[in-house]
Structure 1
Amino acid sequence: MMDGRNSLVLVVEDDLQTRRFLKVNLGRCGWRIIEAENGRAGLARVKEEQPDLIILDLGLPDIGGVVMVSRLRQLSDVPILVLSARSQEQDKIEALEAGADDYLTKPFSTGELNARLQALLRRTMKALTTDGVFVTGELTVNLAERKVFMAGDEIHLTPIEYRILTLLIRYAGLVVTHSHLLKEIWGGEHLHDNHYLRIYMGHLRHKLEANPARPKYLLTEIGVGYRLVENQAST
Protein backbone atom coordinates (compact mmCIF):
# COMPACT_ATOMS: atom_id res chain seq x y z
CA MET A 1 0.00 0.00 0.00
CA MET A 2 1.35 3.40 -0.98
CA ASP A 3 2.13 5.79 1.85
CA GLY A 4 3.72 9.19 2.32
CA ARG A 5 7.17 7.84 3.13
CA ASN A 6 9.86 9.77 1.20
CA SER A 7 7.25 11.97 -0.49
CA LEU A 8 8.03 15.68 -0.19
CA VAL A 9 5.23 18.08 0.77
CA LEU A 10 5.60 21.85 0.50
CA VAL A 11 3.46 23.74 3.03
CA VAL A 12 2.77 27.32 1.92
CA GLU A 13 1.26 28.93 5.00
CA ASP A 14 1.92 32.27 6.74
CA ASP A 15 0.83 31.10 10.21
CA LEU A 16 3.84 29.71 12.08
CA GLN A 17 1.76 27.60 14.49
CA THR A 18 -0.08 25.91 11.62
CA ARG A 19 3.21 25.16 9.87
CA ARG A 20 4.63 23.63 13.03
CA PHE A 21 1.48 21.56 13.57
CA LEU A 22 1.60 20.22 10.02
CA LYS A 23 5.31 19.49 10.14
CA VAL A 24 5.01 17.47 13.35
CA ASN A 25 1.81 15.59 12.59
CA LEU A 26 2.37 14.88 8.92
CA GLY A 27 5.94 13.93 9.76
CA ARG A 28 4.53 11.22 12.01
CA CYS A 29 2.60 9.91 9.00
CA GLY A 30 5.83 9.59 7.03
CA TRP A 31 5.75 12.75 4.90
CA ARG A 32 8.83 14.94 4.46
CA ILE A 33 7.85 18.58 4.99
CA ILE A 34 9.37 21.81 3.68
CA GLU A 35 7.86 25.22 4.39
CA ALA A 36 7.26 28.64 2.87
CA GLU A 37 5.76 31.56 4.80
CA ASN A 38 4.39 33.45 1.78
CA GLY A 39 3.57 33.09 -1.89
CA ARG A 40 6.88 34.30 -3.32
CA ALA A 41 8.83 31.93 -1.09
CA GLY A 42 6.48 29.13 -2.08
CA LEU A 43 7.03 29.69 -5.80
CA ALA A 44 10.77 29.73 -5.25
CA ARG A 45 10.69 26.48 -3.29
CA VAL A 46 8.67 24.76 -6.01
CA LYS A 47 11.40 25.64 -8.51
CA GLU A 48 14.21 24.60 -6.16
CA GLU A 49 12.81 21.52 -4.44
CA GLN A 50 10.25 20.09 -6.91
CA PRO A 51 7.88 18.77 -4.20
CA ASP A 52 5.53 15.84 -4.75
CA LEU A 53 2.54 17.70 -3.25
CA ILE A 54 1.65 21.22 -2.13
CA ILE A 55 -0.53 22.29 0.80
CA LEU A 56 -1.61 25.88 0.18
CA ASP A 57 -3.31 28.44 2.42
CA LEU A 58 -5.41 30.95 0.47
CA GLY A 59 -4.86 33.81 2.94
CA LEU A 60 -1.24 34.60 2.12
CA PRO A 61 0.05 38.13 2.84
CA ASP A 62 1.58 38.82 -0.59
CA ILE A 63 -0.29 36.87 -3.29
CA GLY A 64 -4.03 36.19 -3.49
CA GLY A 65 -5.04 32.55 -3.16
CA VAL A 66 -6.53 32.03 -6.62
CA VAL A 67 -3.64 33.91 -8.24
CA MET A 68 -1.21 31.72 -6.30
CA VAL A 69 -2.89 28.55 -7.55
CA SER A 70 -2.66 29.84 -11.13
CA ARG A 71 1.04 30.70 -10.76
CA LEU A 72 1.79 27.30 -9.29
CA ARG A 73 0.01 25.68 -12.21
CA GLN A 74 2.22 27.61 -14.63
CA LEU A 75 5.27 26.10 -12.92
CA SER A 76 4.20 22.52 -12.28
CA ASP A 77 1.49 19.87 -12.45
CA VAL A 78 2.20 18.90 -8.82
CA PRO A 79 -1.06 18.22 -6.92
CA ILE A 80 -2.29 21.17 -4.83
CA LEU A 81 -4.43 20.73 -1.73
CA VAL A 82 -5.90 24.01 -0.51
CA LEU A 83 -6.12 24.24 3.28
CA SER A 84 -8.12 27.30 4.21
CA ALA A 85 -10.42 28.83 6.80
CA ARG A 86 -12.58 30.09 3.93
CA SER A 87 -15.55 27.76 3.82
CA GLN A 88 -17.80 29.51 1.29
CA GLU A 89 -18.68 27.45 -1.77
CA GLN A 90 -17.50 30.21 -4.11
CA ASP A 91 -14.02 30.17 -2.57
CA LYS A 92 -13.81 26.42 -3.16
CA ILE A 93 -15.08 26.71 -6.72
CA GLU A 94 -12.61 29.48 -7.61
CA ALA A 95 -9.65 27.59 -6.14
CA LEU A 96 -10.55 24.32 -7.87
CA GLU A 97 -11.22 26.00 -11.19
CA ALA A 98 -7.87 27.81 -10.97
CA GLY A 99 -6.16 24.43 -10.83
CA ALA A 100 -6.23 23.17 -7.24
CA ASP A 101 -6.86 19.43 -6.90
CA ASP A 102 -8.62 19.32 -3.54
CA TYR A 103 -9.89 21.66 -0.81
CA LEU A 104 -9.99 21.09 2.95
CA THR A 105 -11.52 23.60 5.36
CA LYS A 106 -9.97 24.58 8.69
CA PRO A 107 -10.34 23.27 11.35
CA PHE A 108 -9.39 19.83 10.07
CA SER A 109 -8.25 16.47 11.39
CA THR A 110 -4.78 15.15 10.66
CA GLY A 111 -6.38 11.86 9.66
CA GLU A 112 -8.51 13.42 6.94
CA LEU A 113 -5.64 15.57 5.68
CA ASN A 114 -3.37 12.53 5.48
CA ALA A 115 -6.05 10.54 3.65
CA ARG A 116 -6.54 13.30 1.09
CA LEU A 117 -2.80 13.60 0.51
CA GLN A 118 -2.65 9.83 0.00
CA ALA A 119 -5.44 10.07 -2.58
CA LEU A 120 -3.60 12.80 -4.47
CA LEU A 121 -0.39 10.80 -4.42
CA ARG A 122 -2.15 7.67 -5.67
CA ARG A 123 -3.63 9.62 -8.54
CA THR A 124 -0.27 10.89 -9.68
CA MET A 125 1.45 7.52 -9.26
CA LYS A 126 -1.04 5.11 -10.78
CA ALA A 127 -1.24 6.91 -14.16
CA LEU A 128 -4.41 5.10 -15.13
CA THR A 129 -4.20 4.14 -18.81
CA THR A 130 -6.86 3.38 -21.39
CA ASP A 131 -6.12 -0.36 -21.21
CA GLY A 132 -6.66 -0.48 -17.43
CA VAL A 133 -9.48 -1.72 -15.28
CA PHE A 134 -10.95 0.52 -12.58
CA VAL A 135 -12.57 -1.17 -9.59
CA THR A 136 -14.28 0.31 -6.56
CA GLY A 137 -16.65 -1.78 -4.48
CA GLU A 138 -18.91 -3.72 -6.85
CA LEU A 139 -18.33 -1.28 -9.73
CA THR A 140 -15.86 -2.43 -12.42
CA VAL A 141 -15.03 -0.44 -15.55
CA ASN A 142 -12.96 -2.09 -18.28
CA LEU A 143 -11.59 0.95 -20.07
CA ALA A 144 -10.07 -1.01 -22.97
CA GLU A 145 -13.34 -2.72 -23.84
CA ARG A 146 -15.53 0.20 -22.73
CA LYS A 147 -17.63 -2.10 -20.56
CA VAL A 148 -19.18 -1.35 -17.17
CA PHE A 149 -20.18 -3.96 -14.61
CA MET A 150 -22.04 -3.74 -11.32
CA ALA A 151 -21.81 -6.81 -9.09
CA GLY A 152 -20.76 -8.81 -12.16
CA ASP A 153 -23.71 -7.72 -14.32
CA GLU A 154 -22.93 -5.63 -17.39
CA ILE A 155 -24.58 -2.19 -17.35
CA HIS A 156 -25.37 -0.39 -20.58
CA LEU A 157 -24.40 3.29 -20.56
CA THR A 158 -25.03 5.86 -23.24
CA PRO A 159 -21.91 7.49 -24.77
CA ILE A 160 -22.34 10.64 -22.67
CA GLU A 161 -22.92 8.66 -19.47
CA TYR A 162 -19.77 6.67 -20.16
CA ARG A 163 -17.70 9.81 -20.83
CA ILE A 164 -18.87 11.35 -17.55
CA LEU A 165 -17.99 8.18 -15.66
CA THR A 166 -14.51 7.88 -17.19
CA LEU A 167 -13.78 11.55 -16.44
CA LEU A 168 -14.72 10.94 -12.81
CA ILE A 169 -12.51 7.83 -12.82
CA ARG A 170 -9.57 9.95 -13.97
CA TYR A 171 -9.95 12.00 -10.78
CA ALA A 172 -11.25 9.21 -8.54
CA GLY A 173 -11.42 10.28 -4.90
CA LEU A 174 -11.28 13.97 -5.79
CA VAL A 175 -13.93 16.55 -6.55
CA VAL A 176 -14.47 17.43 -10.22
CA THR A 177 -16.13 20.81 -10.66
CA HIS A 178 -19.32 21.37 -12.63
CA SER A 179 -17.51 23.62 -15.10
CA HIS A 180 -14.74 21.08 -15.73
CA LEU A 181 -17.26 18.33 -16.42
CA LEU A 182 -19.35 20.58 -18.67
CA LYS A 183 -16.32 21.80 -20.63
CA GLU A 184 -14.90 18.30 -21.13
CA ILE A 185 -18.20 16.65 -22.06
CA TRP A 186 -20.17 19.35 -23.88
CA GLY A 187 -17.64 22.10 -24.66
CA GLY A 188 -16.81 25.58 -23.39
CA GLU A 189 -20.09 27.09 -24.57
CA HIS A 190 -22.00 25.02 -21.99
CA LEU A 191 -20.13 26.03 -18.82
CA HIS A 192 -23.31 27.22 -17.10
CA ASP A 193 -25.65 24.43 -18.19
CA ASN A 194 -25.62 22.61 -14.85
CA HIS A 195 -28.99 21.04 -15.61
CA TYR A 196 -27.23 18.82 -18.17
CA LEU A 197 -25.17 17.33 -15.34
CA ARG A 198 -28.12 16.90 -13.00
CA ILE A 199 -29.99 14.92 -15.65
CA TYR A 200 -27.12 12.65 -16.63
CA MET A 201 -25.87 12.12 -13.09
CA GLY A 202 -29.42 11.09 -12.22
CA HIS A 203 -29.34 8.55 -15.04
CA LEU A 204 -25.95 7.22 -13.91
CA ARG A 205 -27.09 6.86 -10.32
CA HIS A 206 -30.19 4.93 -11.32
CA LYS A 207 -27.98 2.52 -13.27
CA LEU A 208 -25.08 2.20 -10.81
CA GLU A 209 -26.45 2.84 -7.32
CA ALA A 210 -28.54 0.43 -5.27
CA ASN A 211 -30.30 3.47 -3.79
CA PRO A 212 -29.93 6.51 -6.11
CA ALA A 213 -31.22 8.81 -3.36
CA ARG A 214 -28.35 7.72 -1.07
CA PRO A 215 -25.44 7.11 -3.46
CA LYS A 216 -22.30 5.25 -2.37
CA TYR A 217 -20.21 5.84 -5.49
CA LEU A 218 -21.28 9.08 -7.20
CA LEU A 219 -21.28 11.74 -4.50
CA THR A 220 -22.41 15.36 -4.79
CA GLU A 221 -20.15 18.15 -3.51
CA ILE A 222 -22.92 20.72 -3.04
CA GLY A 223 -22.40 23.80 -5.16
CA VAL A 224 -19.02 22.56 -6.44
CA GLY A 225 -19.23 19.31 -8.41
CA TYR A 226 -19.09 15.53 -8.07
CA ARG A 227 -16.73 12.96 -6.57
CA LEU A 228 -16.36 9.29 -7.48
CA VAL A 229 -15.54 7.26 -4.37
CA GLU A 230 -12.49 5.06 -4.76
CA ASN A 231 -11.77 1.98 -2.68
CA GLN A 232 -15.46 1.66 -1.81
CA ALA A 233 -15.96 -1.49 0.27
CA SER A 234 -17.94 -4.26 -1.39
CA THR A 235 -21.21 -5.26 0.24
Structure 2
Amino acid sequence: MDKLTVLVTDDDQDIRDGIEIYLKNEGFNVLKAANGLEAIDMLKQHEVHLIILDIMMPKMDGITATFKIREERNIPILMLSAKAEETDKIHGLSIGADDYLTKPFHPLELMARVKSQLRRYTELGTYARQEQTEGLTLHPEAKEVRLDGEPVKLTPIEYRITELLLKNAGRVFSISEIYELVWNEEAYNAENIVAVHIRKIREKIEADPKNPRYLKVVWGLGYKIEK
Protein backbone atom coordinates (compact mmCIF):
# COMPACT_ATOMS: atom_id res chain seq x y z
CA MET A 1 0.00 0.00 0.00
CA ASP A 2 1.27 3.50 -0.83
CA LYS A 3 2.24 5.81 1.97
CA LEU A 4 -0.60 7.67 3.62
CA THR A 5 -0.55 11.45 3.43
CA VAL A 6 -1.18 13.80 6.36
CA LEU A 7 -1.86 17.50 5.87
CA VAL A 8 -0.51 19.62 8.76
CA THR A 9 -2.24 23.00 9.02
CA ASP A 10 -0.96 25.53 11.55
CA ASP A 11 0.08 29.17 11.33
CA ASP A 12 3.16 28.45 13.48
CA GLN A 13 5.96 27.23 11.21
CA ASP A 14 7.89 25.67 14.09
CA ILE A 15 4.86 23.54 14.97
CA ARG A 16 4.36 22.53 11.34
CA ASP A 17 7.99 21.57 10.96
CA GLY A 18 8.09 19.73 14.29
CA ILE A 19 5.01 17.65 13.51
CA GLU A 20 6.40 16.92 10.05
CA ILE A 21 9.55 15.38 11.54
CA TYR A 22 7.57 12.95 13.70
CA LEU A 23 5.16 12.05 10.89
CA LYS A 24 7.97 11.35 8.43
CA ASN A 25 9.75 9.22 11.03
CA GLU A 26 6.56 7.12 11.16
CA GLY A 27 6.56 6.71 7.39
CA PHE A 28 3.88 9.23 6.39
CA ASN A 29 3.92 11.65 3.48
CA VAL A 30 3.46 15.19 4.78
CA LEU A 31 1.90 18.30 3.28
CA LYS A 32 1.87 21.62 5.11
CA ALA A 33 -0.42 24.66 5.09
CA ALA A 34 -0.36 27.89 7.11
CA ASN A 35 -4.12 28.48 7.24
CA GLY A 36 -7.48 27.03 6.31
CA LEU A 37 -7.51 28.53 2.81
CA GLU A 38 -4.19 26.88 1.98
CA ALA A 39 -5.42 23.60 3.43
CA ILE A 40 -8.54 23.57 1.26
CA ASP A 41 -6.43 24.38 -1.79
CA MET A 42 -4.07 21.48 -0.92
CA LEU A 43 -7.04 19.11 -0.71
CA LYS A 44 -8.01 20.01 -4.26
CA GLN A 45 -4.54 19.17 -5.54
CA HIS A 46 -3.50 16.13 -3.49
CA GLU A 47 -4.93 12.93 -2.07
CA VAL A 48 -4.96 13.44 1.70
CA HIS A 49 -5.88 10.77 4.24
CA LEU A 50 -5.90 12.86 7.46
CA ILE A 51 -5.77 16.55 8.36
CA ILE A 52 -4.17 18.02 11.48
CA LEU A 53 -5.88 21.39 11.78
CA ASP A 54 -5.21 24.24 14.20
CA ILE A 55 -8.23 26.26 15.29
CA MET A 56 -6.81 29.77 15.61
CA MET A 57 -5.31 30.81 12.24
CA PRO A 58 -5.39 33.93 10.03
CA LYS A 59 -7.34 34.16 6.75
CA MET A 60 -9.44 31.10 7.58
CA ASP A 61 -9.63 29.48 11.02
CA GLY A 62 -9.88 25.77 11.69
CA ILE A 63 -13.59 25.83 12.53
CA THR A 64 -14.52 27.45 9.22
CA ALA A 65 -12.14 25.17 7.34
CA THR A 66 -13.62 22.06 8.96
CA PHE A 67 -17.13 23.16 8.02
CA LYS A 68 -16.11 23.67 4.39
CA ILE A 69 -14.14 20.42 4.22
CA ARG A 70 -17.09 18.45 5.57
CA GLU A 71 -19.27 19.70 2.72
CA GLU A 72 -17.34 17.42 0.38
CA ARG A 73 -14.90 15.18 2.26
CA ASN A 74 -15.15 12.71 5.15
CA ILE A 75 -11.43 12.23 5.85
CA PRO A 76 -10.41 12.32 9.53
CA ILE A 77 -9.77 15.76 11.03
CA LEU A 78 -7.67 16.09 14.19
CA MET A 79 -7.99 19.57 15.68
CA LEU A 80 -5.29 21.42 17.61
CA SER A 81 -5.86 24.41 19.86
CA ALA A 82 -4.14 26.34 22.61
CA LYS A 83 -7.53 26.65 24.27
CA ALA A 84 -8.37 24.09 26.92
CA GLU A 85 -12.02 24.99 27.48
CA GLU A 86 -14.51 22.17 27.00
CA THR A 87 -16.75 24.41 24.88
CA ASP A 88 -14.05 24.78 22.20
CA LYS A 89 -13.61 21.03 22.08
CA ILE A 90 -17.35 20.43 21.75
CA HIS A 91 -17.69 23.11 19.09
CA GLY A 92 -14.95 21.55 16.98
CA LEU A 93 -16.42 18.07 17.29
CA SER A 94 -19.95 19.28 16.60
CA ILE A 95 -19.06 20.65 13.16
CA GLY A 96 -17.23 17.52 12.04
CA ALA A 97 -13.82 17.08 13.67
CA ASP A 98 -12.98 13.52 14.73
CA ASP A 99 -10.52 14.21 17.53
CA TYR A 100 -9.06 17.10 19.49
CA LEU A 101 -5.70 17.75 21.12
CA THR A 102 -4.84 20.73 23.31
CA LYS A 103 -1.49 22.51 23.02
CA PRO A 104 1.04 21.87 24.38
CA PHE A 105 0.84 18.17 23.56
CA HIS A 106 3.31 15.30 23.61
CA PRO A 107 4.37 14.33 20.08
CA LEU A 108 3.94 10.64 20.89
CA GLU A 109 0.32 11.23 21.90
CA LEU A 110 -0.27 13.07 18.62
CA MET A 111 1.25 10.17 16.66
CA ALA A 112 -0.91 7.67 18.55
CA ARG A 113 -4.05 9.63 17.71
CA VAL A 114 -3.03 10.01 14.07
CA LYS A 115 -2.46 6.26 13.73
CA SER A 116 -5.71 5.45 15.48
CA GLN A 117 -7.75 7.70 13.18
CA LEU A 118 -6.03 6.43 10.06
CA ARG A 119 -6.47 2.81 11.10
CA ARG A 120 -10.21 3.28 11.48
CA TYR A 121 -10.46 5.30 8.27
CA THR A 122 -8.54 2.89 6.03
CA GLU A 123 -9.64 -0.50 7.38
CA LEU A 124 -12.63 -2.10 5.74
CA GLY A 125 -15.39 -3.58 7.87
CA THR A 126 -14.96 -7.19 8.93
CA TYR A 127 -18.60 -8.18 8.36
CA ALA A 128 -19.46 -9.36 4.86
CA ARG A 129 -23.20 -9.08 5.32
CA GLN A 130 -25.20 -5.88 5.43
CA GLU A 131 -26.55 -4.95 8.84
CA GLN A 132 -29.92 -3.27 8.64
CA THR A 133 -32.98 -2.14 10.52
CA GLU A 134 -36.17 -0.89 8.84
CA GLY A 135 -34.59 0.98 5.92
CA LEU A 136 -31.33 1.91 7.67
CA THR A 137 -28.54 -0.28 6.30
CA LEU A 138 -24.82 -0.67 6.94
CA HIS A 139 -22.48 -1.41 4.04
CA PRO A 140 -19.07 -2.13 5.61
CA GLU A 141 -17.32 -2.80 2.32
CA ALA A 142 -18.03 0.80 1.27
CA LYS A 143 -17.95 2.20 4.81
CA GLU A 144 -21.42 3.62 4.20
CA VAL A 145 -24.71 3.89 6.00
CA ARG A 146 -27.72 4.13 3.71
CA LEU A 147 -31.20 5.34 4.47
CA ASP A 148 -33.82 3.89 2.15
CA GLY A 149 -31.02 3.06 -0.29
CA GLU A 150 -29.43 6.52 -0.29
CA PRO A 151 -25.97 7.08 1.28
CA VAL A 152 -25.98 9.16 4.47
CA LYS A 153 -23.18 11.73 4.64
CA LEU A 154 -21.48 10.86 7.95
CA THR A 155 -18.12 11.88 9.34
CA PRO A 156 -15.76 8.99 10.22
CA ILE A 157 -16.68 9.19 13.92
CA GLU A 158 -20.40 9.38 13.15
CA TYR A 159 -20.05 6.36 10.88
CA ARG A 160 -18.26 4.33 13.56
CA ILE A 161 -20.90 5.11 16.18
CA THR A 162 -23.69 4.17 13.77
CA GLU A 163 -21.78 1.05 12.71
CA LEU A 164 -21.40 -0.04 16.34
CA LEU A 165 -25.10 0.44 17.10
CA LEU A 166 -26.35 -1.09 13.84
CA LYS A 167 -24.19 -4.19 14.19
CA ASN A 168 -25.65 -4.61 17.65
CA ALA A 169 -29.21 -3.42 16.96
CA GLY A 170 -31.38 -3.64 20.04
CA ARG A 171 -28.49 -3.61 22.48
CA VAL A 172 -28.05 -0.60 24.76
CA PHE A 173 -24.55 0.88 24.93
CA SER A 174 -23.58 3.23 27.74
CA ILE A 175 -21.86 6.51 26.92
CA SER A 176 -18.59 5.14 28.29
CA GLU A 177 -18.87 1.99 26.17
CA ILE A 178 -19.52 4.01 23.01
CA TYR A 179 -16.59 6.30 23.70
CA GLU A 180 -14.14 3.52 24.53
CA LEU A 181 -15.16 1.34 21.57
CA VAL A 182 -15.20 4.16 19.01
CA TRP A 183 -12.34 6.38 20.22
CA ASN A 184 -10.32 3.41 21.54
CA GLU A 185 -9.35 5.22 24.72
CA GLU A 186 -10.59 5.47 28.28
CA ALA A 187 -13.75 7.51 28.67
CA TYR A 188 -13.24 10.71 30.65
CA ASN A 189 -15.85 13.47 30.61
CA ALA A 190 -17.25 11.78 27.52
CA GLU A 191 -20.92 12.65 28.01
CA ASN A 192 -20.96 15.87 26.00
CA ILE A 193 -18.69 14.52 23.27
CA VAL A 194 -20.84 11.47 22.62
CA ALA A 195 -24.08 13.47 22.93
CA VAL A 196 -22.92 15.93 20.27
CA HIS A 197 -22.22 13.13 17.81
CA ILE A 198 -25.51 11.38 18.58
CA ARG A 199 -27.35 14.63 17.87
CA LYS A 200 -25.54 15.07 14.54
CA ILE A 201 -26.30 11.47 13.53
CA ARG A 202 -29.98 11.94 14.35
CA GLU A 203 -30.11 15.08 12.23
CA LYS A 204 -28.91 12.99 9.29
CA ILE A 205 -30.90 9.77 9.68
CA GLU A 206 -34.12 10.84 11.39
CA ALA A 207 -37.10 12.53 9.75
CA ASP A 208 -37.85 14.06 13.16
CA PRO A 209 -34.68 14.12 15.32
CA LYS A 210 -36.69 15.07 18.42
CA ASN A 211 -38.80 11.94 18.02
CA PRO A 212 -36.27 9.47 16.62
CA ARG A 213 -37.35 6.31 14.85
CA TYR A 214 -33.94 4.63 14.86
CA LEU A 215 -31.43 6.05 17.34
CA LYS A 216 -33.07 5.93 20.76
CA VAL A 217 -31.94 7.05 24.20
CA VAL A 218 -32.59 4.67 27.08
CA TRP A 219 -32.65 7.07 29.99
CA GLY A 220 -30.03 6.37 32.63
CA LEU A 221 -28.46 3.61 30.52
CA GLY A 222 -27.31 4.87 27.12
CA TYR A 223 -28.22 4.60 23.43
CA LYS A 224 -29.38 1.94 21.01
CA ILE A 225 -30.65 1.54 17.47
CA GLU A 226 -33.99 -0.21 17.32
CA LYS A 227 -34.21 -3.53 15.48
TM-score by length of 1: 0.63
Question: Which runs of 5 or more residues in structure 2 are unaligned?
Answer: 130-163
1:73–1:99 contact (8 Å) kept in structure 2 = yes
Shift of 1:15: 0.5
Distance 1:161 1:70 in 2: 31
Q: Does 2:190 align with 1:159?
A: no
Q: C-alpha displacement at 1:65, in angstroms?
A: 2.5
Structure 2 partner of 1:110: 107
Q: Do structure 1's residue 178 and structure 2's residue 195 form an aligned pair? A: yes
CA-to-aligned-CA distance 1:166-186 (integer Å, 9 cap, x gap): 966883427753122245478
Structure 2 counterpart of 1:77: 74
For residues 160 and 87 of structure 1, do their structure 2 counterparts lie closer, same or farther at Cα, with a shift above 3 Å needed? same
Q: Could you list the runs of 5+ residues in structure 1 that have no partner in the other structure?
A: 133-142, 148-157, 205-235
1:53 is matched with 50
Q: 2:3 aligns with which of 1, 6, 13?
A: 6
Q: Judging changes above 3 Å, is the alpha-carbon distance between structure 1 residues 108 and 164 closer, same or farther for their aligned structure 2 residues?
A: closer
Cα distance, 1:75 vs structure 2: 2.9
Amino acid at match of 1:64: D
Q: Partner residue of 1:189?
A: 210
Amino acid at match of 2:209: G
CA 1:50–1:197: 2 relative to 1, 3 Å: farther
- Per-residue deviation, residues 129-182 of structure 1 (Å, max 9, x unmatched): 5558xxxxxxxxxx8x967xxxxxxxxxx9250597996688342775312224
Bigger radius of gyration: 1
| Corresponding letter in the other structure for 2:182 | Y
Contact 1:14–1:60 (CA<8 Å) still a contact in 2?
yes
User: Residue in 1 aligned with 2:29?
Assistant: 32
Question: Which amino acid in 2 is paired with 1:171?
Answer: V
Matched-pair contact (CA < 8 Å) for 1:183–1:190: no
Task: Tell me the number of residue pairs that the alignment of Structure 1 and Structure 2 aligns.
Answer: 175
Contact 2:66 2:97 survives alignment (8 Å): yes
Q: Aligned in 2, Cα 1:146/1:103: closer, same or farther, shift over 3 Å?
A: closer
Distance in 2 (CA, whole Å) between partners of 1:170 and 1:184 is: 17
Which deviates further from its counterpart, 181-190 or 6-15?
181-190
1:162–1:105 CA distance, 2 compared to 1 (3 A) = closer
* Superposition CA RMSD, Å: 3.6
- Confirm or deny: 8 A CA contact 1:12 1:36 kept in the other structure: yes
1:42 is matched with 39
* 8 Å contact from structure 2 (residues 79, 101) kept in 1: yes
Aligned 8 A contact 1:58 1:64 in 2: yes
Q: TM-score, normalised by structure 2?
A: 0.65
CA contact (8 A) 2:173 2:221 kept: no
- Corresponding residue for residue 222 of structure 1: none
Matched, 1:98 2:95: yes
Q: Go from structure 1 to structure 2 and tell me whether the alpha carbon gap of 1:113 and 1:190 turns closer, same or farther (over 3 Å shift).
A: farther
